[in-house]
Structure 1
Amino acid sequence: MDEAVGGPLVVVAESAEVLALPGLGEHLLSPVERERAAGLRRERNRLDFLAAHLLVRLCAAHLLGVPVSEPVLVQRCPDCDLPGHGAPALAGRPGIGLSLSHTEGVVAAAAGPVPVGVDVEQPGTGRGDLADLHARVLGAAESAAVAARPDPAGAFLRQWVRKEAMIKIGRVSLDTLAEVDLSALPLDAAGPGPARHRHEDLHLLDWTEPRSGALLAAVSTRPVRLVPLAETAGAVLPV
């Protein structure tokens, strides 16, 4: 498969769906990932972690047209230079962009021939005091638009996942979130399918997962494709 053709793909699914797929399991994870999973105190968090780290491998395998056992995921923090956290990457394939995210019972992952960022959040999972977050996350125009919505918490979450996805491609940091003005983007769901927007040179994809209500955002310099879990699994999983 030509890695330069097409844009990144993103998949969002319930953790239980991913973990139920045949051929997926902890044996695919690195020792560092297994150690991190084992250190999580809540079983629900451990399962979400496992599902997200397996799903990103599934996305990479689908993108490359290889068995799911082939992609080797690595993570190394640019700040402390320690493995096991930081942005995910594929060993030996520096041109492939990866991203993953998990929330309560829902996971998302992305893979593409260019950098891609994805974030998924469940409404009501808690982000501290909303008013306190506004000043750190939203600019003045964004904050006014969010406050005017019938559901300001939901509107804020929509901007939050967009900006979290932008963090993951290195376009913004936690300290500069409020400097990125996304007030021109709509805060309402466009309908049952994914909504697509532009911000400068970036393509943004918004979606609300219909079963869980989780909000998803994916960002890249190329259009992002939302792909069903079953299609992604396809021929990359063992029979």
Structure 2
Amino acid sequence: MTSEDQEPDAPIAAVAASADVLRHPEAGEHLLTTVERERAARFRHEAGRVDFTAAHILVRLCAARLLGVPAARLTLAQNCPDCGKGDHGKPYLPDHPEVHVSLSHTRGVVAAAAGHHPIGVDVELAGRGGALTDVAQRVLSAAELHLVEAHPEPARAFLRQWVRKEALIKIGRTSLDTLASVDLSALPLDIPADAPLLSRYQDLYLLDWADGPQGAAVCAVSTAAPRVVPLTPGAPGA
């Protein structure tokens, strides 16, 4: 499946270095709510604060592109279905309940997505794959584990399945306790370096891509075919 299958009003996703997001003309901590600024201030290390801030700005930029409005007009909130608190949990736009948003951040890299259909996105650095493989037996199905262990680069193969499953959690299709019951073994593990790859799992579209400049694995999952958009200086196609 290719980008030709995507609709013009498809959900959009973006990934960028945190520093690039903060250089965007619309970026600035003025976009953040009081709750977000308080959360950012609690990070012990500056790098964590920067990544958190960049992710919360990038998701606004995605939603602004989708809606055709300035990012400064958008308020982002979060809600935890378990404890009911609003300082963490699933992100949403209180003034645009029809729009679904998702965000993710890792060391120096952030991803975000927005759409009129449910969507989840996750990003992980390839360099962190070795540590993540420690949990492979708990989160992969038997078929997935076999393919990952047989792959020439098991850590990279596992990372691809990991970002997919994290995105599925964010869209509400699985949980940390049920990841192994989701079998994505029919999906390719090797993603072309020059273009995102769109696949299907049940009624979902999975958009996988390898962000070369950042060395990151990214996946966006939605009930409609997502597309990648450039939103920051230096992004391909910007």
TM beyond 0.5: yes
Distance (whole Å) between structure 2 residues aligned to residue 125 and residue 191 of structure 1: 19
2:110 equivalent to 1:107: yes
Give secondary structure in 2 for the equivalent of 1:124.
Answer: helix
Q: What's 1:118 paired with?
A: 121
Distance (whole Å) between structure 1 residues aligned to residue 224 and residue 132 of structure 2: 34
2:59 equivalent to 1:62: no
Task: State how 1:148-167 maps to structure 2 within 5 Å.
Answer: 148-167=150-169
CA drift at 1:222: 0.3
Task: State how 1:1-239 maps to structure 2 within 5 Å.
Answer: 6-125=9-128, 128=131, 130-131=133-134, 133-230=135-232
| Paired residues of 1:197 and 1:205 also in contact (CA < 8 A) | yes
Structure 2 residue runs of 5 or longer lacking an equivalent are 1-6
Give the TM-score taking structure 2 as reference length.
0.92
Deviations 1:181-226 (A, max 9, x none): 0000010113410011000100000100111210000000000010
Identity among equivalent positions (%) equals: 58
Deviations 1:2-41 (A, max 9, x none): xx97221001111110001223111110111101100001
**Equivalent position amino acid for 1:225 in 2:** R
**Equivalent position amino acid for 1:215 in 2:** A
Give secondary structure in 2 for the equivalent of 1:107.
Answer: strand
**Equivalent position amino acid for 1:19 in 2:** L
Change (3 A) 1:192 1:5: closer
Give secondary structure in 1 for the equivalent of 2:74.
Answer: coil
Deviations 1:66-94 (A, max 9, x none): 11111111101111111111110001322
Structure 1 segments of 4 or more deviating over 6 A?
none
CA drift at 1:129: 6.0
| Paired residues of 1:104 and 1:125 also in contact (CA < 8 A) | no
Give secondary structure in 1 for the equivalent of 2:73.
Answer: coil
Deviations 1:130-154 (A, max 9, x none): 24x1221100000000000011011
Give the TM-score taking structure 1 as reference length.
0.91
CA RMSD of aligned residues (A): 1.7
Give secondary structure in 2 for the equivalent of 1:49.
Answer: helix
| Paired residues of 1:8 and 1:223 also in contact (CA < 8 A) | yes
| Paired residues of 2:79 and 2:85 also in contact (CA < 8 A) | yes
Q: Count matched residues.
A: 228
Distance (whole Å) between structure 2 residues aligned to residue 200 and residue 74 of structure 1: 30
Structure 1 residue runs of 5 or longer lacking an equivalent are 234-239
| Paired residues of 2:21 and 2:232 also in contact (CA < 8 A) | no
Give secondary structure in 2 for the equivalent of 1:111.
Answer: strand
**Equivalent position amino acid for 2:206 in 1:** L
| Paired residues of 1:7 and 1:224 also in contact (CA < 8 A) | yes
| Paired residues of 2:20 and 2:232 also in contact (CA < 8 A) | no
Q: What's 1:236 paired with?
A: none
Q: What's 2:4 paired with?
A: none
